[in-house]
Amino acid sequence: HPTAPTVMTMNGHFAGVGENGTADFQHGVQIIDADKNFNENLGAYLQKESIIRSGFNYHIISVFGSQSTGKSTLLNYLFGTHFGVMSEQERRQTTKGIWMSKNKNEAAGKGGEKGMAENILVMDVEGTDGRERGEDQDFERKSALFALATSEVLIVNIWEHQVGLYQGANMGLLKTVFEVNLQLFLKDAKSVPRSLLFFVIRDHLGTTPLANLKQTLVQDLQRIWSGLSKPPGMDKSTIEDYFDFAFVALPHKILQPEKFEQEVQSLGTRFREGYKDPKRLGLVDESSEPVLLPEYHRRIPADGFPIYAKGVWDQIDSNKDLDLPTQQELLAQFRCDEISKEVLIPFDEAIVPLEEQQSQAVAAGTPSTIPKLGKTMTTARSTLLAAFEVEASRYHKGVFKTKQAELATKVDSRLKALFQGQMTAAHKSGLNDFSEGVTQSVKAGQKKSGNYDFHKIVQSEKEKALKLFESEAQGSLVSGTSWSDYKSQMNSFRRELDEASGRLRKEEMRRLANRSERWVRAKLDESVGLEFNKLGSGRAGSGAPVEGQKPATEKDLWDRIWSVFTDTVSHAESRFTDRARSFDASPDEVEVGLWRLRRKSWGALHAKIDEEMMEGNLLLKLRENFEDKFRYDDEGVPRIWRPSDDIEGLYTKARESTIELIPLLTRFRLARTSSAPPLDAWIGDAPPNVTAADEEDLPPIGGVDDDEGKTMEDEMTILSDAKAADLSTRFKKTADGVYVEAKRSAIGGVTQ
């Protein structure tokens, strides 16, 4: 039936491909069609027959011979194939082009003497005698070249009665085979393995023993060989330099069908793997020895065979010199690239998500390390390289090595980027954690006792950070690479930790300075306040005298304030120095800190004095001072005024005594030197390493910072003259009031 999708051997289209284009491969695959086109489905066929992944574990066998000599029939019997066979009635050519089929014989893959090799691929090459193709020898030559370039064993199918007919079609074909073989060798002798020419003599009647037939054939072959024009340097070569020969005779299939089948079956067992007996050079014994010898193998990996075969055929068909080494290199390049792509798929599955995770974290500015990165990378890398090696090392060694290096470079550059990203993340988060850890510990210390060891905190956080960094770096190493090393990253991390420590120490210095200042302020608040309170007592030295000190007088108020002040600050200074030293602050830093502390303390004292000198406060103190002098006698007993008392005299004396205080209060002046305290010397010169930031929050001090245009006199002026005069007036009024009241009470006392 014309539309049936069977073997369309007669119309020149690819058979074995269904009408919808999908391959069914019922009869194998037609590698080359009648129009000399190469079939792109060869790969699919090898896939379907599970040969594509078998590496070198496969064999290719071709058959040659005149038209209609029972070649296809023989192959079908030998290998259980379904090559098209001419029907007994039609007698016309059936096989067009070159067909290929996997060995379907039950013995395939079975071991022992009766078994056959695994994965035998059989090629049925179009026969020739010019009957169908006229004088066109082109295809014959091309298919011979193709078979020779690919096959380990070339079966030469010949009728017994053709043996010795030197002019026969078979001999013509063999001449072609030898010629193309020489042509191949011309390019690169090493790249062309030996082949076995396996003569199968058909319709052997038995009258002429095989040995004789063999002898005749060998003579003919040598005759052909010597008749060939050989390229220079090869003229001494013999046919055995390139070929091994084996011979077998089969009985007549029609006349002795049982015997035929029996002997074909035993012939089948020859198609197993084996080694040649070195004593029998050039000839394989015809009885039972295996014919699939390692030296015949073309060493084209099965997965590369479709590409290789196509490349070879394209070369042959376009009448270019067949250059097998080049073909093999091209094949290696193509296949190595394909294998690279294949092995990159699982690699990408493992690595791309990590790359994305990392770049997203970087974009979001939230650096975080990827757990088990090193392990994942190592596994992905070694799996990829191992898989590549398994598949690609079967190809041309040089190309393989180059592509292997390319692949390693490619994946390593990605893994290296991941590794470096990981190190950057570990670095950044390590620094963050370190600063955060120190800050938190300081806070906890402040909360607990306020007495914490900053140095210890920094040291232990640093150690923790370095340990974590190292373990993260360790866990990110990709074993088997020279680039995954974290020495320099570790050094830069350590360097930046030190820098961060320096910054944190500066902050701690500031905190310490603030604490010291607060402490000084609180102390001054109390002690200076006390000194001013003493003014309220008109009798100097009242209250318990302080041990070891001269009893206080009103006159040395400022002396006492100055000494309380300097004592307080020097106490704060020594505590400051001790603390700062404890966390390795440099002498320079300590010097600046102390200088700032002295200036700030002076500011605090000044503020405290100003507070005490506020009008209301001062007036109250003067009034208390006056009343104390006026209303109490020398023993501190309150006076009961009598009219006889010299109220006016006592009033005037007390009032004058209190008024004398006002000029004393207007200026900070030491009684013992009659001049301002040595503030500038006490503060000292600004240390040489003071920075602008250090000076920023320091208000100028008159007489110390001379460029401010404010003198020491200005600095030490507590009350302006006008204010002092005003105070004096207001005090007098208050005192007058007290006097009038005393007067009244004296008179009242009398009348009572």
Dist CA 219 CA 221 (whole Å): 5
Binding-site size, Mg ion (CB under 5 A) = 2
181 binds, among Mg ion, ligand GDP, none (CB under 5 to 8 A by kind): none
Residue of 7, 44, 86, 468 interacting with ligand GDP (CB under 6 A)? 86
374 binds, among ligand GDP, Mg ion, none (CB under 5 to 8 A by kind): none
- Given the DSSP bridges, would you call strands 243-249 and 120-125 parallel, antiparallel or unpaired? unpaired
Query: 157 — phi, psi (to 5°)?
Result: -95, 125
Decide: is 70 part of the binding site for ligand GDP (CB under 6 A): yes
DSSP state letter for 448: H
Written as one string, the DSSP assignment of 360-383 is HHHHHT---PPTTHHHHHHHHHHH
CA 311 to chain centre: 40
Would the annotation count 440 as a binding residue? no
Give 6 or 586: the residue with its C-beta nearer to ligand GDP.
Answer: 6
Give 16 or 306: the residue with its C-beta nearer to ligand GDP.
Answer: 16
Give 67 or 327: the residue with its C-beta nearer to ligand GDP.
Answer: 67
Decide: is 127 part of the binding site for ligand GDP (CB under 6 A): yes
Decide: is 181 part of the binding site for Mg ion (CB under 5 A): no
Decide: is 9 part of the binding site for Mg ion (CB under 5 A): no
Q: How far is the CB of 260 from ligand GDP (least distance, A)?
A: 6
Q: How far is the CB of 352 from ligand GDP (least distance, A)?
A: 54
Would the annotation count 70 as a binding residue? yes
User: If you search the block for the tokens 């994946």, which residue do you land on?
Assistant: 411
For 690, the token pair is 């003071």
477 binds, among Mg ion, ligand GDP, none (CB under 5 to 8 A by kind): none
Residue of 67, 103, 150, 625 interacting with ligand GDP (CB under 6 A)? 67
- CA torsion, points 43, 45, 50, 56, in degrees to nearest 10? -50
Give 145 or 158: the residue with its C-beta nearer to ligand GDP.
Answer: 158
Give 65 or 97: the residue with its C-beta nearer to ligand GDP.
Answer: 65
67 binds, among ligand GDP, Mg ion, none (CB under 5 to 8 A by kind): ligand GDP
Q: Cβ contacts of residue 155 below 8 Å, gap of 6+?
A: 61, 62, 63, 64, 65, 71, 74, 198, 200
Position closest to Mg ion via CB: 72
Q: Angle formed by the axes of helices 487-535 and 557-582, to 10°?
A: 160
167-206 residues in contact with ligand GDP (CB under 6 A) are 202-203
- In contact, 128 and 173? CB cutoff 8 Å: yes
Residue 11 class from Cβ within 10 Å (0-12 exposed, 13-18 middle, 19+ buried)?
exposed
Nearest one of 147, 173, 154, 146 to 67, comparing CA atoms? 173
Would the annotation count 404 as a binding residue? no
User: Site map for ligand GDP, 224-253, x if CB under 6 A?
Assistant: ----------------------------xx
- Which stretch in 66-74, 582-590, 656-664, 678-686 sits in contact with ligand GDP by CB under 6 A? 66-74
Decide: is 73 part of the binding site for ligand GDP (CB under 6 A): yes
Nearest one of 355, 380, 402 to 479, comparing CA atoms? 380
39 binds, among ligand GDP, Mg ion, none (CB under 5 to 8 A by kind): none
Residue of 44, 54, 80, 85 interacting with ligand GDP (CB under 6 A)? 85
Would the annotation count 130 as a binding residue? no
- In contact, 437 and 464? CB cutoff 8 Å: yes
Dist CA 590 CA 694 (whole Å): 12
Q: How far is the CB of 306 from Mg ion (least distance, A)?
A: 23
Would the annotation count 318 as a binding residue? no
Residue of 95, 315, 404, 666 interacting with Mg ion (CB under 5 A)? 95
Dist CA 472 CA 490 (whole Å): 11
Decide: is 152 part of the binding site for ligand GDP (CB under 6 A): no
- Which stretch in 81-89, 366-374, 381-389, 624-632 sits in contact with ligand GDP by CB under 6 A? 81-89
- In contact, 330 and 311? CB cutoff 8 Å: yes
Q: How far is the CB of 259 from Mg ion (least distance, A)?
A: 22
Give 84 or 367: the residue with its C-beta nearer to ligand GDP.
Answer: 84
- Which stretch in 80-88, 425-433, 503-511, 605-613 sits in contact with ligand GDP by CB under 6 A? 80-88
Dist CA 354 CA 626 (whole Å): 86
Q: How far is the CB of 6 from Mg ion (least distance, A)?
A: 16
Give 251 or 306: the residue with its C-beta nearer to ligand GDP.
Answer: 251
100 Ramachandran zone, left/alpha/beta (phi>0; psi -120 to 50): beta
Cβ-based neighbour number of residue 588 at 10 Å: 12
218 binds, among Mg ion, ligand GDP, none (CB under 5 to 8 A by kind): none
351: helix, coil or strand?
helix
Query: 516 — phi, psi (to 5°)?
Result: -60, -45
Helix and strand element counts for the chain (H, E): 20, 7
Would the annotation count 66 as a binding residue? yes
User: Site map for Mg ion, 45-74, x if CB under 5 A?
Assistant: ---------------------------x--
Rg (CA), the chain: 57
User: Site map for ligand GDP, 92-111, x if CB under 6 A?
Assistant: --xx----------------
Give 94 or 489: the residue with its C-beta nearer to ligand GDP.
Answer: 94
Q: How far is the CB of 217 from ligand GDP (least distance, A)?
A: 18
Q: How far is the CB of 29 from ligand GDP (least distance, A)?
A: 17
Q: Is the dihedral of CA 373, 378, 379, 381 positive or negative?
A: positive
- CA torsion, points 368, 371, 375, 380, in degrees to nearest 10? -70
Would the annotation count 67 as a binding residue? yes
Cβ-based neighbour number of residue 453 at 10 Å: 14
59: helix, coil or strand?
strand
640 binds, among ligand GDP, Mg ion, none (CB under 5 to 8 A by kind): none
Dist CA 175 CA 160 (whole Å): 19
Give 72 or 376: the residue with its C-beta nearer to ligand GDP.
Answer: 72
Give 84 or 311: the residue with its C-beta nearer to ligand GDP.
Answer: 84
Q: Is the dihedral of CA 669, 670, 675, 676 positive or negative?
A: negative
User: Site map for Mg ion, 362-401, x if CB under 5 A?
Assistant: ----------------------------------------
Dist CA 679 CA 697 (whole Å): 19
Residue of 41, 72, 176, 328 interacting with ligand GDP (CB under 6 A)? 72
253 binds, among Mg ion, ligand GDP, none (CB under 5 to 8 A by kind): ligand GDP
- In contact, 38 and 314? CB cutoff 8 Å: yes
Give 63 or 351: the residue with its C-beta nearer to ligand GDP.
Answer: 63
Dist CA 195 CA 181 (whole Å): 10
DSSP state letter for 126: P
Q: Angle formed by the axes of helices 324-364 and 397-448, to 10°?
A: 10
Q: Is the dihedral of CA 331, 54, 143, 210 positive or negative?
A: positive
Give 140 or 589: the residue with its C-beta nearer to ligand GDP.
Answer: 140
73 binds, among Mg ion, ligand GDP, none (CB under 5 to 8 A by kind): ligand GDP
Binding-site size, ligand GDP (CB under 6 A) = 19
Decide: is 82 part of the binding site for ligand GDP (CB under 6 A): no
Written as one string, the DSSP assignment of 283-325 is B--SSS---B-GGG-----GGGHHHHHHHHHHHHHTTPPP-HH
Q: How far is the CB of 220 from Mg ion (least distance, A)?
A: 24
For 580, the token pair is 């700062």
Decide: is 254 part of the binding site for ligand GDP (CB under 6 A): yes
Q: Give the annotated binding-site residues for GTP.
A: 65-72
Q: Give the annotated binding-site residues.
A: 65-72
Q: By CB under 6 A, name the binding residues for ligand GDP.
A: 65, 67-73, 85-86, 88, 94-95, 127, 202-203, 252-254
Q: By CB under 5 A, name the binding residues for Mg ion.
A: 72, 95
